[in-house]
Structure 1
Amino acid sequence: MTDYTPEIVYEMPVQQYVTYNFEKSAQEVGRIVWPNNEDQHYLKGCYWSPDGTCLLTVVRGGGMHICELPSDLYTTDVVMSSRPITALTPAVSVPEHGLIYDVCWYPGMNSSLPATCCWLSSGHEGPVHLWDAFTGTLRCTYRGYNAVDEIDPALSVSFSADGQNIFCGSKKSVKIFHTSRPGRDYVMYDVSHPASCIVASHAQPGVVAIGSWKNTIELVSQSDGTFRHLCKFQGHKGGITTMAFSLDGFKLFSGARKDKEVICWDLRVPGRPLFTLAREVSTNQRIAIDLSRCGRYLVSGGTDGKVLAWDVSQNVSPQENMQMPLHSDCCNGVSLHPTKPILATSSGQHHTQDPLHHSRTPTNCENALCMWWVGNQQEDPDLITAIIRAATNS
């Protein structure tokens, strides 16, 4: 196919403030489960689109899927306790059976502008793909090459804050593509260790954080088409897997594999953590963190199936966390809706199989994509009346 992508006009997102109620039990409002077979189709993260209309997830060996937000949740501010759980179905599916490393939404995605509805994906031994979120078709590819002119797969992908550039982190470099020019035209920035995670700051355009498998984070500034080194952080015990900039751009939150701490870095005083947050991460799997659009709450998954939430609005370590045991298997993906108090989670991990069935302990494989209402809830008066009548009659 011809490498072409239409010109995309970026619109700055409108600031939205959402009222969360993490202290109260989260109410499940949507779910879809992938069956576990010999291929182990567990999920690998979930990502709300920037306009909040749909949810993207990656299934190991089962491609990428987009589920739409249930229609009744668009306008409501309160959910009844009797609301049934919506059975989610993929509106768009891309049957990519190879190993997918990373995905990323276009930051100016708006469903009323079809040209902006797209996402990136990187996979094993392949180029970076740009997919159409309406049809699931491949729009174009961005191809990076190594010193012997072989395809250099991207371990991580990210758009710049304005959506004009694409950052592709590989083993020895970060390749910078212009979004409107697919192909092999790029600028390269050398790195010392594989770039496992990349995130751009929206508050400070041009500032980009590059995490590596060597537990280091490099802060760079984009200028003259490439990167300029600013500083480097080191404090994690494992390779960096997830990062998020604060709303004001002065803080950076990071998490790593086999590391039970989320570190908050003060970018005004580089090199020293501002505080740390405890979470359960006992495997090499990528366990995501996400920051609310208002900048007040940070949420994290965990290998124990719990979702933790902290109020990080102050420059001191939160005194306590809010725990939500939402899954019976590893919760690897968390994503807060941009305009509604809805938390999306994904669960699943690789389980060692016993081909001779010697083990008598059943393996719990959940492999679920869920939506949880973490805002105001209201008891259904009809349901309460029915319960009272039933109790009276008995």
Structure 2
Amino acid sequence: MNFSTLESSYLAYAHYNFENTSLELARCQWPNYDDQHYLRCCKWSPDGTCLLTIVRGAGMHVFELPTDIYTGDTMLTSRPVNPLNPAVSVPESGLIYDYCWYPGMNSANPATCCWAASGHEGPIHLWDAFTGDLRCTYRGYNNVDELEAAISVTFSADGQNIFCGYKKNVKIFSTGRPGREYVEYPTQYPASCLVASLAQPGVVAIGTWKNTIELVSQSDGSFRHLCKLTGHKGGITTMAFSLDGTRLYSGARKDNEIICWDLRVPGRPLFCLTRQCNTNQKISIDLSRDGKWLVSGGTDGKVQVWDVSQNVAPTVHMELPLHNDCCNGVSLHPYRPVLATASGQHHTLDPLHHTRNVMSYENALVMWWVGQQQEDPDLLATIIKAASNT
């Protein structure tokens, strides 16, 4: 993989401009297979050079950011849409539950370029982002010494540990020591979602299938319960810490509310936001690095954008109808005004005719420009000239 980055870009936040309509930059489309190969969210790498997505039944795929998007403050509206082709593909068999990038990933150092993934009836795998090779595995076992699959997975903020959610506990592996050595933190319900705080190393939020969120502090192999948050109607599927660690945003399955928790006064929501989420499927949220913009997908195919920089409940800043099917994944680029989205969902069979209740699906990975836009002067001159000749 050829990663060319500008080191100075890491020092600044992306200048998102959610005043204009989004401009499509690149797209990859999967066929409408009978066995439903829909996407399961998408995630930008920490250094912003590539995008990772999971396709149900069709493995894991890494896509590079088009080279012309690395620089420039504006984008011409006449820019053609790039076809996206995977730089690395891993034909992982079975259903993949969760995945995450190594937080110290830097394309200039190939050793850091990897991601972890957990799947059905298997251990946690660590995959090489350059070659697609399997580097190592982390194996969790239940109380009868049977290999158990992790439901959720995330790295600690410093990348030293991997937190894995299971049905009865959270297991913590040392990243540098693959195998079956781990410590456990018992949970009352299956840990369906995990996220680590960047501002407070060792603090991890554990979301469960029973609609509860528990904050714990982990250091030196010991755990300390901090608080428990309740308020969602369904099991927790997505969470995001603010950069300063004072807020936690959470969403749940079949729950139209995104709750913002003020962790300085835990237990009481700061405000709630509304989106369309009428499915058990994960509909992800993402927060910009500067903490200003919160974005969420929806089962209606729309991406909603809120300015959450204040301490009051914001109204929807912009609603972007980007997809014709469920938009299950959103990911804001770390230093460029680019939004990645993933679409697709499971469509049930008609029990009488054994056919899907829809005729077309949109299983797509798309990159959108959400920064400043500029009309192409040459194209504009051509349009004016053609209009004058008619």
Q: Specify the TM-score bucket, using the shorter chain as the normaliser.
A: over 0.9
Structure-2 separation of matches of 1:362 and 1:210: 36
Alpha carbons 1:16, 1:294 under 8 Å: kept: no
For the pair 1:387 / 2:386, whether they are aligned, the reply is no
User: What is residue 377 of structure 1 aligned with on the other side?
Assistant: 373
> What residue in structure 2 maps to residue 98 of structure 1?
94
Aligned position for 1:332: 328
* SS of residue paired to 1:392: helix
1:160 matched to which residue of 2? 156
Deviation readout 1:97-141 (Å, 9 max, x if unpaired): 200000000001000001100000000110000000000000000
User: Which amino acid is the alignment partner of residue 268 of structure 1?
Assistant: R
Cα deviation per residue 1:62-114 (whole Å; 9 max; x = unaligned)? 00000000011111221101000000000000001200000000001000001
1:144 lines up with 2:107 in the alignment: no
Q: Any idea what the Cα deviations from partners look like across 1:266-305, whole Å, max 9, x if unmatched?
A: 1111110000000000000100000001111000000000
Aligned to 2:202: 206
State which of 120, 134, 138 in structure 1 corresponds to 2:116: 120
- The answer on whether the counterparts of 1:264 and 1:274 sit within 8 Å (CA) in structure 2 is yes
1:358 deviates by 8.2
Q: Alignment partner for residue 70 of structure 2, among 66, 74, 80?
A: 74
1:278 pairs with 2:294: no
Match of 1:10 in 2: none
Q: Which moved more, 1:339-348 or 1:35-44?
A: 35-44
Correspondence for 2:337: 341
| Amino acid paired to 1:155 | I
Cα deviation, 1:155-182, whole Å, max 9, x if unaligned, reads 0000000000000000001000000000
For the residue of structure 1 that corresponds to 2:380, the secondary structure is helix
Which secondary structure state, in structure 1, belongs to the residue aligned with residue 148 of structure 2?
Answer: coil
SS at match of 2:107: coil
Q: Indicate the larger mover: 355-364 or 218-227.
A: 355-364
- Give matches, 1:301-340, under 5 Å: 301-340=297-336
Matched-pair contact (CA < 8 Å) for 2:349–2:357: no
Asked if the contact 1:348/1:367 (under 8 Å) is kept, the reply is yes
Separation (CA, whole Å) in 1 of partners of 2:254 and 2:315 = 24
* Equivalent AA in structure 2 for residue 213 of structure 1: W
| Structure 1 unaligned spans of 5+ | 1-12
| In 1: Cα distance, 2:172 partner to 2:244 partner | 25
1:217 to 1:344, Cα distance in 2 relative to 1, 3 A: same
Q: In structure 2, what is the Cα distance between the partners aligned to 1:171 and 1:50?
A: 29
- What letter corresponds to residue 89 of structure 2 in structure 1? S
Match of residue 32 from structure 1: 28
Asked if 2 retains the 8 angstrom alpha-carbon contact of 1:328 and 1:364, the reply is: no
Query: Structure 1 CA distance, aligned partners of 2:266 and 2:117?
Result: 31
CA RMSD of aligned residues (A): 1.5
In the alignment, what sits opposite 1:9?
Answer: none
TM-score, normalised to structure 2, is 0.96
TM-score, scaled to structure 1: 0.95
Post-superposition offset of 1:321 = 2.9
- The offset of 1:356, in angstroms, is 6.9
1:192 aligns with 188
Task: Tell me which residue corresponds to 2:4.
Answer: none
Deviations 1:216-237 (A, max 9, x none): 0000001221321111000000
User: Is the 8 Å Cα contact of residues 16 and 293 (structure 1) preserved in structure 2?
Assistant: no
Deviation of 1:362 after TM superposition, in Å, equals 4.4
What is the aligned counterpart of 2:13 among 7, 10, 17? 17
Contact in 2 for aligned 1:130/1:138 (Cα 8 Å): yes
Deviations 1:305-339 (A, max 9, x none): 00001111111111333100000000000000001
- Deviations 1:187-206 (Å, cap 9, x if unpaired)? 01100000000000001111
> Larger deviation: 305-314 or 349-358?
349-358
Contact 2:140/2:180, CA 8 A, preserved across alignment: yes
Pick aligned residue for 1:290 from 286, 296, 309? 286
5 Å-filtered alignment, 1:259-278, equals 259-278=255-274
Q: Where in structure 2 are the equivalents of 1:165-184 lying within 5 Å?
A: 165-184=161-180
Q: Which residue of 2 is the match for residue 7 of structure 1?
A: none
Over 3 Å counting, the alpha-carbon distance change for 1:108 and 1:303 in structure 2 is same
Amino acid at match of 2:370: V
Cα distance change, pair 102–306 in 1 and its aligned pair in 2 (3 A) = same
Distance in 2, Cα, partners of 1:359 & 1:48? 35
1:48 touches 1:336 (CA, 8 Å); kept in 2?
Answer: yes
